[in-house]
A and B are shown apart, each in its own frame.
Chain A
Amino acid sequence: NAGVTQTPKFRVLKTGQSMTLLCAQDMNHEYMYWYRQDPGMGLRLIHYSVGEGTTAKGEVPDGYNVSRLKKQNFLLGLESAAPSQTSVYFCASSYSWDFLPYEQYFGPGTRLTVT
């Protein structure tokens, strides 16, 4: 099993450009998450999904959109990139039991720089 994979690994964008980050998991997990990690801040939740076709806002959702058209994929979009979105982005997934999620499995991250 590949676990959680993220595409691309690195990206440089100019202010105002758009892009989509792709997350894929092969563990049949219901829950998927997008986080950003900035120096000294730990991880902050951007958006998450509790199942195919569902999405919900996390702690820092502004400037991002997400879609979960297939259970195994969770896409994070930046419509108009800003320098404040320079960060490392992590995708994660988790299984659930009795509608409660368990530990999360993380992808390797995408390092995004917006100039």
Chain B
Amino acid sequence: SQQGEEDPQALSIQEGENATMNCSYKTSINNLQWYRQNSGRGLVHLILIRSNEREKHSGRLRVTLDTSKKSSSLLITASRAADTASYFCATDKDGNKLVFGAGTILRVKS
């Protein structure tokens, strides 16, 4: 079963625009993580946000977490063609195992 569900499934934007992806989950969590996967490659960790945090930044990335709504969002500002990838949220509820969503496919057109 998938805990996290990303929305939208696919997103196409122009270079320089912002991209927002959302993740909803079903049960309480310890933390929520976002990963990026380039085509044919392994996943790369982007940001980890703990259940007692509301917002976190890393470079052009901003992640928010609303535990009351069981949702998170990933914002990529000033997108670049190199940001083209699939983005996954993953929830950690018992400290050992991540449950991944199906991902959002982001295409940034130059």
Cα A44 to Cα B88 with chains together (Å): 12
- In the complex, whether B68 has a CB less than 8 A from a CB of chain A is no
Quick one: which of A36-61 are within 8 Å of B by CB? 40-45, 48, 50, 56, 58-59
- In the complex, whether B1 has a CB less than 8 A from a CB of chain A is yes
Known contacts A100-B30, A103-B33, A109-B41; is-contact A43 B97 (Cβ 8 Å): no
Known contacts A102-B48, A103-B45, A104-B45; is-contact A59 B1 (Cβ 8 Å): yes
Partner of B88 from A31, A43, A45 at Cβ < 8 Å: A43
A72-90 Cβ-contact flags toward B at 8 Å (1 or 0): 0000000000000000001
- Whether B102 and A41, one on each chain, are in contact in the complex, defined by CB atoms closer than 8 angstroms, is yes
Contact residue range for chain B? 20 to 34
B13-50 Cβ-contact flags toward A at 8 Å (1 or 0): 00000000000000000100101000011111100100
Q: Which residue of the partner chain A has the closest CB to B95?
A: A100
- Whether B43 and A90, one on each chain, are in contact in the complex, defined by CB atoms closer than 8 angstroms, is yes
